[in-house]
Structure 1
Amino acid sequence: MIVRYSVFLIILFFVYSCNPGNPKDSSNEFLKVEGQNFVDAEGREVILSGINFISKEPSEKYMPAQGEETFKQFKAWGFNCIRLGIIWDGLEPEPGKYNEAYLQEIDKRIKWAEKNDLYVFLDMHQDLYGAQFSDGAPDWATITNDQPHYKGEVWSDSYLISPAVQTAFDNFWNNAPAPDGIGLQDHYANLWKLIAERYSKNATVIGYDVMNEPFMGSEAQNVLPMMLGAYAQVYVEVTGQAPPSVEELAAMWGSEASRMEALNMISTRDRYSKVVDAVYEVSAAFEKNKLQPFYQKVADAIREVDMHHILIYNHNYFVNTGVSTALEATKLPDGSRDPQVAYGAHGYDLVVDTKENENQSRERVEFIFDRVAESGKRMNMPVLLGEWGALHSKSDKMVETAQHLVGIIEAHKFSNTFWAYYGNIDEYPFFQQAIVRPYPQRISGKLDFYDYNFETGEFTFVWEESGKEQEPSVIYVPVLSNLTEEDIATSPAADQIVFEHCEDSGGGRLLVSPLGKPMKRTLRFKIHLTSGKEFTINKS
């Protein structure tokens, strides 16, 4: 039977209430990795679904201005995880001298997350290496050998055209000495050790995302010619014409408008794979010879003070586009595989950061996330998709794009954090009609399948119970206030489903008790996403 108001419901309300002032459930204990799954202290599989929360601005002291109310909003939207960006420049403004005021601001946001039942993982963020060019490393750790810096039409072009950015990365990967004589990587590892020691007993913090989108430095000069050469071969195969000259290829990819035309040529899975696979060997060599040893250095430093938290490894910058990663799990001090590691993949179509971002190639995007899934299986790690989306338009096409991306994420059962939060994001149709949606947060048993059909409004959740489970499965529903008992179909019939409504929001969670014997279970309901007061909490 479905229980809505009863003594049992009242008891559970105090245990599971959306009111952040009430005691937390088992999420206040360490989240762990078991194979390719995240698992809570009660043995339930956990799907992490959240958003990036970051400031890259020195004027904001590298911390978003939004306060605790925003964290209440995150929970009302159904998020259970925040990728909290932290910046090396803010943390270590001088060699070996750490910014306690900044650390206390991080502490404050972790506390807000805890009060709202949100997990946090810390993302040491960088773009274009450092604060001189964008964000990341402090000036004292940015050694450019006086090389010039160049900008392109798209901000990320500087990775490929700026000698200063490339040289700064080269010096980092070579562990060049900082002004105090200590290597740059050694400073970085020491900083992570400080952070890990600070949060070693904090179960709200689930892990450490060691570096955002590591870039290979000057070796990247070999990548673009390889990709363009592969593109020229595809051009010949498709058109039957002679390959474009080097000058024509450079012009084709040199501006945003002509680049979009060129991308149409490689909008299918087969053509696109020929282009990205052309650079696998260069990409893999960097990851094996530079990135993997660096991650091991940081892992060694963290494991001196913290054996509990999950180490999250992002592949190199070019793997965002579907190149296969060559990363492996890091080792523990005794040489055995570290079991508490996760694959912090990112995935973007090549139109990201352009005016054409809503016109993503569906086949390209599906190929990119299929590659992520394959790598997660090869490494036997859970995938925590740290970045995806980067959507901004209010058009209907952007809603379609977002819904397609969400469908891929659900099909692969990825945990994920959308890139990124901004102040009025809840006013965007793609956010209301795709990002915020029903999903299972905790599965008491083994997750088989879940899906929200945006067209029909039907949510389907299939899982298998062993008969040993004690805790309920938890499903977030963004407009739970629109759902009635009669709307929920279960097979076999559920003994107990509890409606848990969030304060000041139409959303909430369904708590589905286990049946105490081995079986496959299915839960379905139909509900359409809405906007307005049922979508957002009271902002007064």
Structure 2
Amino acid sequence: MIKSVSLLLVIVLAASALIQVDTKRSRYIDEFGRERIFHGINAAPWYPDPEGFDPNMSLSDVDADNLRSWGFNVVRLGMMWPGVEPERKQYNYTYLATMKKIVDNLYSRGIYTILDMHQDDFNRRYCGEGVPDWATVPGEYTLPFPLPIAAEMQTDPVTNYPNITQCLERNFAEYYFANQVADAFENLYKNVGGIQDDFIEFWGVVSAYFNGTEGVLGYELINEPFMGDYIYNPSVLYPEYTDVNFLMPMYEKIHQKIRMNDDTKIIFFEKAVLPAASGFRGGPGGPDYNDRQAFAYHIYCGPTSRDGTPSWLNECEALDGFFYDEIDIDLNRTKLAGFMTEFGAVPDNATSMDSIRYLMEAADARAQSWAYWQLKYYNDITTAGSGESLYDTEGKIEPRKLRELTRTFAPAVQGQVENIHFDSSTGIFSLQFLSNGNITRPTEIYLNEDIYYPKGFTVDVKPGGIVKSEGRNRIQLMMRTSERVLVRISPNL
């Protein structure tokens, strides 16, 4: 159903643009003033293969085309410290060039990249990854790994790595509480042996290399930082302690280093992994940088089975609701934009789909952006296996998961978003926004025609009319005036 006529068809896809933050509304905006929303996916920890296609390892032209067809407009890409600096002060520019090739390839399809210094459990010596071996030195008085949570593991005499089979006997999250892991984080925070200085310089090298790379949305400073050595420094158990005393001072130094090279991109930062609101009162750049810094957060359900399926769905959703309430507190207090840079990590079953749908609907209600964990397995020893990815063990797309993630949404809005809702059971989408006639680029809406609208769709716009663009899976609206607009899209039956 097409109604007339205060809308102007814009057939060509709008050009990608520099993204920053509207400090009055804490929303992402592009250089044209449109509010921007991101739906995306993770590709970490180790760098993907940029050539060909592999259901476990690639992030190539084929993958980028798929991501665009599914409506994803951001990838959170692991930017690994051991990849950049395998030996102290020796930087691997071949690795950086490979990562830039991936970033540029994604951007050619209109997909932005968040460069994420990814870690889980700090280092391979602790059944994890993230920090180079040379920066991982156990304290003199620490217990053998993984005491006190499990008996000591035998390690390779050359690498000091524990046997991978032994590692996988436990959920990786348990190893954070091993004394050596907790101590390693506290050593980083306290700059023992100068390793924090090295970490800051890592970000200096990365930001210098990617300065001017249009496809980089921003830099995420460290993934899921642990609280610190809770055995010898129990103060870290208080929810705000690590954020205030360890993380923010380190983040401020990294901010200064990055801003020497790149003063335009967004710096994303996380709180310590604790089930409570953070201790942050603002971002590492202070209020002057609120248009270029954002609070990154993760929400995961618990408890789950070993493959990630929620054990009790109602309890899972209640817990996720509590976590989102805590995030709301953080965002309101800091006056920063937010981004759910991880959630999901679930297999392709009905209970798991209910759980991620709950979080995506909660994100819609807040006009929040998100990135699902994750696209492929990428040999991540801290994940439950290929069940977390979009591909099954036979290399086939997991259909229920793709259906939930390829949601109808508005990546760019010509004005201020007031309300978003998408019902994945019916395909009905609604968007309410205050249009701004002074913005010269259109609202863009993504919709997956094959999955949700195989018989076509009906678009209603009040006031005015709409014309479908020529691009498949995408429509565009251009308002001539400033007014409240309601868009409704429904499948033809």
TM-score in terms of structure 1 length: 0.75
Residue in structure 1 matched with residue 22 of structure 2 by the alignment: 34
Work out the CA distance in 2 between the residues paired with 1:440 and 1:221.
Answer: 49
Instruction: Note if contact 2:78-2:117 (Cα within 8 Å) is conserved in structure 1.
Output: yes
Instruction: Note if contact 2:116-2:221 (Cα within 8 Å) is conserved in structure 1.
Output: yes
Q: How does 1:450-465 map to 2 (within 5 A)?
A: 450-465=420-435
Give the letter aligned to residue 377 of structure 1.
N
Instruction: Note if contact 2:28-2:35 (Cα within 8 Å) is conserved in structure 1.
Output: yes
Residue in structure 2 matched with residue 526 of structure 1 by the alignment: 490
Shift of the 308–91 alpha-carbon distance from structure 1 to 2, 3 Å rule, reads same
Task: State the Cα deviation string for residues 293-349 of structure 1 (Å, max 9, x = none).
Answer: 00001001111111101010111111xx3x11112334559x955531001111112
Alignment of 1:400 with 2:400, yes or no, is no
When you count helix as a share of all residues, which structure comes out higher? Answer: 1
Work out the CA distance in 1 between the residues paired with 2:264 and 2:296.
Answer: 17
Work out the CA distance in 2 between the residues paired with 1:221 and 1:477.
Answer: 53
Residue in structure 2 matched with residue 302 of structure 1 by the alignment: 258
Shift of the 220–33 alpha-carbon distance from structure 1 to 2, 3 Å rule, reads farther
Alignment of 1:219 with 2:230, yes or no, is yes
Q: Which has the higher contact order (CA 8 A, sep 6+)?
A: 2
Work out the CA distance in 1 between the residues paired with 2:293 and 2:231.
Answer: 27
Measured after TM superposition, the shift of residue 352 of structure 1 is: 4.9
Give the letter aligned to residue 379 of structure 1.
T
Residue in structure 2 matched with residue 91 of structure 1 by the alignment: 84
SS of residue matched to 1:440: strand
Give the letter aligned to residue 287 of structure 1.
D
Measured after TM superposition, the shift of residue 399 of structure 1 is: 2.3
Shift of the 339–328 alpha-carbon distance from structure 1 to 2, 3 Å rule, reads farther
SS of residue matched to 1:474: strand
Give the letter aligned to residue 96 of structure 1.
K
Q: How does 1:18-57 map to 2 (within 5 A)?
A: 25-27=14-16, 29-35=17-23, 36-56=26-46
Shift of the 220–44 alpha-carbon distance from structure 1 to 2, 3 Å rule, reads farther
Work out the CA distance in 1 between the residues paired with 2:354 and 2:290.
Answer: 40
Instruction: Note if contact 2:189-2:246 (Cα within 8 Å) is conserved in structure 1.
Output: yes
Aligned structure 1 segments of 4 or more residues deviating by more than 6 angstroms: 57-60, 220-223, 483-486
Residue in structure 2 matched with residue 490 of structure 1 by the alignment: 461
Alignment of 1:499 with 2:449, yes or no, is no
Residue in structure 2 matched with residue 512 of structure 1 by the alignment: 477
Measured after TM superposition, the shift of residue 205 of structure 1 is: 0.4
Alignment of 1:184 with 2:154, yes or no, is no
Residue in structure 1 matched with residue 221 of structure 2 by the alignment: 210
Measured after TM superposition, the shift of residue 280 of structure 1 is: 9.6
Give the letter aligned to residue 31 of structure 1.
I
Work out the CA distance in 2 between the residues paired with 1:486 and 1:430.
Answer: 21
Work out the CA distance in 2 between the residues paired with 1:485 and 1:71.
Answer: 25
SS of residue matched to 1:324: coil
Measured after TM superposition, the shift of residue 499 of structure 1 is: 2.4
**Structure 2: stretches of 5+ with no match in the other structure:** 51-55, 151-168, 377-389
Measured after TM superposition, the shift of residue 34 of structure 1 is: 1.2
Instruction: Note if contact 2:186-2:228 (Cα within 8 Å) is conserved in structure 1.
Output: yes
Bigger radius of gyration among the two: 1
TM-score in terms of structure 2 length: 0.82
Alignment of 1:436 with 2:398, yes or no, is no
SS of residue matched to 1:317: coil
Residue in structure 2 matched with residue 326 of structure 1 by the alignment: 279
Instruction: Note if contact 1:398-1:430 (Cα within 8 Å) is conserved in structure 2.
Output: no
Alignment of 1:139 with 2:133, yes or no, is yes
Q: Percent identity?
A: 24
Work out the CA distance in 2 between the residues paired with 1:137 and 1:375.
Answer: 28
Work out the CA distance in 2 between the residues paired with 1:353 and 1:383.
Answer: 29
Question: 345-354 or 108-117, which moves further after superposition?
Answer: 345-354
Task: State the Cα deviation string for residues 509-539 of structure 1 (Å, max 9, x = none).
Answer: 11011132x211001121399xxxxxxxxxx
Give the letter aligned to residue 308 of structure 1.
T
SS of residue matched to 1:354: coil
Measured after TM superposition, the shift of residue 429 of structure 1 is: 3.6
Alignment of 1:200 with 2:211, yes or no, is yes
Q: How does 1:65-144 map to 2 (within 5 A)?
A: 65-133=58-126, 134-144=128-138
Residue in structure 1 matched with residue 367 of structure 2 by the alignment: 413
Work out the CA distance in 2 between the residues paired with 1:352 and 1:205.
Answer: 34
Instruction: Note if contact 1:143-1:167 (Cα within 8 Å) is conserved in structure 2.
Output: no
Work out the CA distance in 2 between the residues paired with 1:198 and 1:37.
Answer: 27
Measured after TM superposition, the shift of residue 405 of structure 1 is: 2.1
Shift of the 398–338 alpha-carbon distance from structure 1 to 2, 3 Å rule, reads closer
Q: How many residues align?
A: 438
Work out the CA distance in 2 between the residues paired with 1:141 and 1:90.
Answer: 13
Q: From 408, 420, 424, give the equivalent of 2:391.
A: 424
SS of residue matched to 1:120: strand
Shift of the 486–408 alpha-carbon distance from structure 1 to 2, 3 Å rule, reads closer
SS of residue matched to 1:132: helix
Shift of the 526–44 alpha-carbon distance from structure 1 to 2, 3 Å rule, reads same
SS of residue matched to 1:94: coil
SS of residue matched to 2:202: helix
